[in-house]
Amino acid sequence: MTQIAGAQVLTCPVNLDDVDLFSPGAQEYWFDAYKILHEKAPIHRIPGEGAAPGADAFILSKYDDIAMVVRDPDLFPFYNPGEETQAEEIFNQQGFGAVNSTTQTMRPDIEQHKQHRIQITDPWVGSTGAPRHTAMITQAATGLIDGWIEKGQVEFVKGFAAPLPQIVIETILGFPLDDIPQLRAWEEEQVRRFVYGSTHKNLLSPEEEVDNAKSLVQFQQYIKQRLDEKRACPVDDMVTFLSQVTYQGRQLDDAEIVGVAYGMHIGGNETTQYALTAEAYVLAQRPDIFQELKADRSKVRFFVEEALRLYAPTQGLSTRRVARDTEIRGLPIPKGSLLHLRYGAGNRDPEEYAEPTEFRLDRPHAGRHLTFSQGPRACPGSGLSRLEQNIAVNLLLDRLDEVHFTPGKNDFTHQPGIMLGMWNLFLDFTPA
């Protein structure tokens, strides 16, 4: 993503009236805002911002409320901000359908959703399938570290956190690594609404919608070209697999294959980039933790989970629609409302976590955070992402003796939107 100068305008919230999670600069004060929401407004109304005319939106910040909502997709179905826009028309006319169009054909209900995960994504990016990529991930991460280890300095986002997940997901899909500059540009278009969209609905202007859709239609056509090549000349990669797999007693059609690959590409890139960046940030900030991990590698997986909890890349990634009148915490929530789920706030809920802002390697149930969501629609790529992070942290511990923030270079600011992503991270280190 390109950093836009001067975007930070909000100041730290003190009262509930100051809480604004979405205006420019808000991302620097989210953690302060969450404390206020937990105490004063665990279900925070945004008047008039619902899905239906006159309906409201609500920000949910409590762990239990968010976990309850994501586990009940009938009452709280996904809300897709793209479904009310011009983009859908462009995808339908020029590409392979809107982003979620294959949901109806491939996983219309929870049982099919489960089958989709087991048969289509788990063998490649789930916790059962991801380990087959261990050697590839290790090689990619080692190559990146080799590129800067002698220098004693690195800008970690460009030098490691961004390229690693990108190389990994392009390799899994079977896209040529020479295409990475173009694929990166498309990937940034894929997440554009979540970074530069306005309000909790991640809205782009009508002009931006059109530009975004035109660019992403080209990406869909690119996937289709790769698919044709793999049909002619099958290899061991995920797109070839999708072209051959029998699912629900039939082969997948082009739109379905493009849709699955498209989802892997958006999910598999920047989220893991942000997680890796946050982990390097903690290693530099906490020499005690760095040394503890170096001495006992069995703690690395707890380190990864605690970093995912405290610095969830998906702070606010997700909105649900309310299908029927209901109530949460005794508050009536009418049909047509929208629920903005703050996974990042749930992860810092003091009712769920003792001393929630403390980084602890001995948290009970370390992996139970909300960062990958929970329930039937939880992230299908969490197995791959966790593997990448564990391999990366272990390699950094192998290759570095100590690591610090480069003096005078870091402002530790984040991109806007609803995900937590540091723009850059300058590190000085002593090679091992």
Binding site for ligand HEM (CB under 6 A): 125, 169, 263-264, 267-268, 271-272, 275, 313-314, 317-318, 343, 371-373, 377, 379-381, 384-385
The nearest distance, CB 163 to ligand HEM, in angstroms, is 14
| Closest CB 402 distance from ligand HEM, rounded Å | 26
CB of 317 or CB of 392, closer to ligand HEM: 317
Quote the CA–CA distance of 66 and 50 in Å, as a whole number.
18
* Closer residue to ligand HEM in complex, CB, 294/386: 386
Rank residues 85 and 390 by Cβ distance to ligand HEM and give the closer one: 390
Nearer to ligand HEM, 38 or 342 (CB): 342
User: Taking the complex as a whole, how short is the minimal distance between the CB of residue 78 and ligand HEM, in angstroms?
Assistant: 6
Nearer to ligand HEM, 318 or 337 (CB): 318
CB of 380 to ligand HEM, least distance (A): 5
Comparing CB distances to ligand HEM, the nearer of 269 and 429 is 269
Smallest separation, CB 316 to ligand HEM (Å): 10
What is the closest distance, in whole angstroms, from the C-beta atom of residue 264 to ligand HEM in the complex?
5
Q: Which long-range contacts (CB under 8 A, 24 or more apart) does 193-196 make?
A: 193/81, 193/82, 194/317, 194/417, 194/418, 194/419, 195/1, 195/415, 195/416, 195/417, 195/419, 195/421, 196/416, 196/417
